[in-house]
Amino acid sequence: MEQLTQTLKLAGAVIEEISLQPTEKEPKAILVVSAPLTPAIAMALDCLEMFYDIHVTPRPFEGHVGLSHLLKETSLTIGAETFTPDLVHKFRVNHESDVALRVSCRIHLTGVMHLHMLLDGFIATNKGTFALEISPRQGQLFAEGESDPQQADHA
């Protein structure tokens, strides 16, 4: 999957790791976050049947399972801050307990502005939980209920 069709709403997210890397142009941060994997998130990631049975009970498996998602053209919202990540990838799912699953991913952010916002958020959150949303940047072409103006002219 390279494009999201709906927003991933990760409630109860935590920061697992932040690393900084120098690049040719601007510094880059790599943010690793994890959150509970709900059936709604699994559905948005197109992996519901992989991790949940027909009774929406987590399937048993050992270790972690990687997903091949490589998301570009997304927006990342953490609290009131919105970022434009270069890449969101390396999604992994593991058991948090016998009845709960957890998903993690890596988010690449380039630019000094992103680094300042990210570090401010990290200082405020530290080991606490927060809500994180990953949305398709394109969005819907027309709002629900609206039609294409060119089609209206031809009607």
What is the domain extent for residue 50?
Answer: 8-139
Question: Is 98 among the domain residues?
Answer: yes
Q: How many domains does the chain have?
A: 1
Question: Is 38 among the domain residues?
Answer: yes
Question: Is 3 among the domain residues?
Answer: no
Question: Is 146 among the domain residues?
Answer: no
Angle at 131 between CA 128 and CA 134, to 5 degrees: 135
Question: Is 69 among the domain residues?
Answer: yes
Question: Is 51 among the domain residues?
Answer: yes
Question: Is 81 among the domain residues?
Answer: yes
3-state secondary structure of 2: coil
Residue among 51, 20, 16, 49 nearest 34 (CA): 16
Which pLDDT tens digits describe the chain residue by residue (155 residues)? 677 888 999 999 999 999 999 989 899 999 999 999 999 999 999 999 999 999 999 999 999 999 999 999 999 999 888 999 999 999 999 999 888 999 999 999 998 888 888 888 888 888 999 999 999 987 544 444 444 444 444 44
CA–CA separation, 5 and 46 (whole Å): 10
Whole-structure pTM value: 0.84
Question: Is 153 among the domain residues?
Answer: no
Using CA of residue 31, residue 32, residue 36, residue 38, what is the dihedral sign?
A: positive
